[in-house]
């Protein structure tokens, strides 16, 4: 309670909440109030999922704590034609480590349009927050971490952009940088940091192998590449975004290809059948952004009240 660092953290949390609302209000994108429980987890067991859902029993009914409410934002786009957003908690089943929390805050949005539209919007959102931090909290950040040059450097140049294949060509097929699975690849945290070092401070990495991302990400014309992108900044991935399937048939095919039971997403498929719509969305881990802003290398230090799976914590 006597820590200047954590007083600055509170100021940043407040600024992000306020400026997020201001950013979206200026674009007529509406905030949704959503429950934290769901039966349609966005990272189901199957290809392309890198997180574990948190299953609970609530009054005798099995359900999940939300890992993301992206599907609800897609639903919301059918009701709000300029798009929808929220900032709310997300829950993951893994143990926390230097870049992952069991409970974290998610700033997510979904808009009409394709991949390029959402990349431009997400980049603008990150820059809006960075500018607001410099303008309103610059001296506090300077006092807390010894400078604001990292924020200024991000704002002073366009964000680099390259495809996953171009990243492999840039770094080489090195197991330090990429994990090679049966027919698809993922980038490691070391690979993300190397790209930031070479091309940053901000890098958009696009068009991952389709089987390396969750089923809901649309594919390009070849079917082999996802219409997705990650913003790499500071500790690595800070924002993930992608274009969604438009039709029910595309969604069913992706569920089958990723080995996810279609019956678990029947309502989602029916929504695509009854109201097909091209949308794209992104999710930003708020604490990941705070890691970059405060030059921290352990996300567990960015919690006001610590929470870890399987542990009781007071308060």
Q: What is the pLDDT of residue 183?
A: 87
Q: Which domains does the chain have, with CATH numbers?
A: 4-302 (3.30.930.10)
CA within 13 Å, CB half, 142: 9
Q: DSSP letter string over 37-83?
A: EESS-SS-SSTT--S--EEEEETTEEEEE-S--HHHHHHHHTT-TT-
Q: In what order do the strands lie in the sheet with 103-112?
A: 30-31, 84-91, 103-112, 279-285, 236-243, 228-233, 202-206, 160-163
DSSP class of residue 104 equals E
Q: What is the pLDDT of residue 264?
A: 86
Q: What is the pLDDT of residue 46?
A: 66
For residues 84 and 302, give the distance between their C-alpha atoms in angstroms, rounded to a whole number: 27
Its pTM stands at 0.96
Short-list 268, 233, 243, 269, CA closest to 129: 233
> Do the Cβ atoms of 83 and 25 come closer than 8 Å?
no
Short-list 78, 107, 74, 73, CA closest to 90: 107
Q: How do the pLDDT tens digits run along the chain, 315 residues long?
A: 889 999 999 999 999 999 999 999 999 999 999 999 998 888 776 676 767 899 999 999 999 999 999 999 999 999 999 999 999 999 999 999 999 999 999 999 999 999 999 999 999 999 999 999 999 999 999 999 999 999 999 999 999 999 999 999 999 999 999 999 988 999 999 999 999 999 999 999 999 999 999 999 999 999 999 999 999 999 999 999 999 999 999 999 999 999 999 998 999 999 999 999 999 999 999 999 999 999 999 999 999 999 999 998 888
> CB 32: neighbour CB atoms within 10 A?
17
Q: What is the pLDDT of residue 44?
A: 78
Residues forming beta bridges with residue 88, ordered by sequence position: 106
Q: What is the pLDDT of residue 50?
A: 67
């Amino acid at each position: 309670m006597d820590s200047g660092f954590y007083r600055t953290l509170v100021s940043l949390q407040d600024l992000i909440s306020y400026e997020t609302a201001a950013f979206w209000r200026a674009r007529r994108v509406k905030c949704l109030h959503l429950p934290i429980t769901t039966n349609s987890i966005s990272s189901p067991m199957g290809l392309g999922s890198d997180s574990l859902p948190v299953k609970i029993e609530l009054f005798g009914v099995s359900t999940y704590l939300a890992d993301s409410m992206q599907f609800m934002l897609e639903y919301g786009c059918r009701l709000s034609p300029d798009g929808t957003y929220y900032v709310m908690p997300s829950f993951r089943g893994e143990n926390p480590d230097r870049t992952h929390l069991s409970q974290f805050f998610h700033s997510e949005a979904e808009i009409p349009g394709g991949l390029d539209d959402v990349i431009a919007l997400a980049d603008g959102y990150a820059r809006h927050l960075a500018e607001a931090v410099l303008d309103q909290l610059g001296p506090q950040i300077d006092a807390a971490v010894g400078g604001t040059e990292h924020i200024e450097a991000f704002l002073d140049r366009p964000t680099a952009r390259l495809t996953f294949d171009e990243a492999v060509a840039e770094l080489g097929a090195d197991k330090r940088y990429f994990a090679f699975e049966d027919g698809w690849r993922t980038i490691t945290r070391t690979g993300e940091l190397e790209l930031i070092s070479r091309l940053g401070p901000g890098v958009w990495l696009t068009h991952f192998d389709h089987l390396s991302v969750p089923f809901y990400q649309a594919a390009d014309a070849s079917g082999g590449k996802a219409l997705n992108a990650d913003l790499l900044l500071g500790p690595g991935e800070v924002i993930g975004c992608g274009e969604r399937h438009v039709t029910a048939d595309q969604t069913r095919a992706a569920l089958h290809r990723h080995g996810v039971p279609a019956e678990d997403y029947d309502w989602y498929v029916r929504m695509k059948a009854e109201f097909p719509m091209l949308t794209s969305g992104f999710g930003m881990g708020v604490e990941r952004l705070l890691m970059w802003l405060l030059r921290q290398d352990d996300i567990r230090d960015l919690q006001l009240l610590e929470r870890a799976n399987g542990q009781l914590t007071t308060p």
